[in-house]
């Protein structure tokens, strides 16, 4: 069970990136949570480049293809998604392994709904399956918690672990239904 985390912020002290690193530390032994650190190296999307895919994009595609689920955490900039997260998604439009992928969207700043709404709209349009029970709001903005403090705060750590379990349940439940429909004999 592989979960790939994507942060929409490139800032070193990003709360969203910290939340994802805390998530990786909190992951139970049967869930492998990794963070994709190459979003900042992706070129700005240009359909003309798709015929000869830049290496950074090919690496990103491979990581997405290998993941059972994707976990997003991204700030809101000027009532919109960040250019960084949208650019990453632009490179996944039409990338077949992304369609019907399970995804969850964490929101560190529950009062900011524009970026959250817009990101979900785009994900749905790209045929991802948003796991609502794993897409939780954790009011971290202004809470002054760093990564270790998140791990050490029971309410935060508990919410993160529940989100991971919900994502895992979605993946396992699909595997079950696929096996039931298409038994390997």
Alpha helices in the chain (DSSP H): 15-26, 55-66, 83-90, 114-125, 147-152, 154-181
Cα torsion 116, 65, 133, 126: sign: positive
Instruction: Name which position in 48, 111, 142, 185 contacts its own copies (CB under 8 A).
Output: 48
The residue range among 7-15, 56-64, 150-158, 168-176 that interacts with its own copies, by the rule CB under 8 A, is 7-15
The residue range among 65-73, 117-125, 151-159, 176-184 that interacts with its own copies, by the rule CB under 8 A, is 117-125
Q: How far apart are alpha carbons 19 and 7 in whole angstroms?
A: 9
Instruction: Name which position in 28, 32, 79, 110 contacts its own copies (CB under 8 A).
Output: 79
Distance, CA of 152 to chain centre: 22
Q: How far apart are alpha carbons 85 and 181 in whole angstroms?
A: 35
The residue range among 115-123, 129-137, 159-167, 171-179 that interacts with its own copies, by the rule CB under 8 A, is 115-123
155 binds its own copies per the rule CB under 8 A: no
Where do contacts with its own copies occur on this chain (CB under 8 A)?
10-12, 39-40, 42-48, 77-90, 93, 114, 118, 121-122, 124-126
């Amino acid at each position: 069970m592989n979960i790939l985390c994507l942060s929409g912020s490139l800032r070193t002290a990003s709360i969203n990136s910290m939340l994802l690193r805390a998530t990786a530390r909190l992951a139970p032994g049967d869930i492998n949570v990794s963070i994709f650190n190459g979003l900042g190296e992706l070129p700005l999307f240009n359909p003309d480049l798709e015929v000869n895919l830049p290496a950074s994009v090919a690496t990103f595609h491979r990581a997405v293809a290998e993941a059972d689920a994707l976990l997003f955490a991204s700030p809101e900039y000027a009532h919109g998604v960040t250019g960084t997260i949208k650019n990453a998604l632009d490179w996944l439009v039409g990338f077949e392994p992304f369609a019907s992928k399970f995804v969850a969207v964490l929101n560190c700043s529950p009062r900011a709904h524009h970026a959250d709404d817009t990101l979900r709209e785009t994900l749905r349009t790209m045929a991802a399956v948003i796991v609502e029970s794993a897409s939780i709001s954790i009011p971290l903005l202004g809470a002054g918690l760093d990564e270790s403090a998140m791990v050490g705060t029971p309410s935060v750590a508990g919410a993160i672990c529940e989100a991971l379990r919900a994502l895992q349940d979605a993946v396992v439940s699909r595997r079950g239904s696929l096996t039931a429909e298409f038994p390997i004999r």
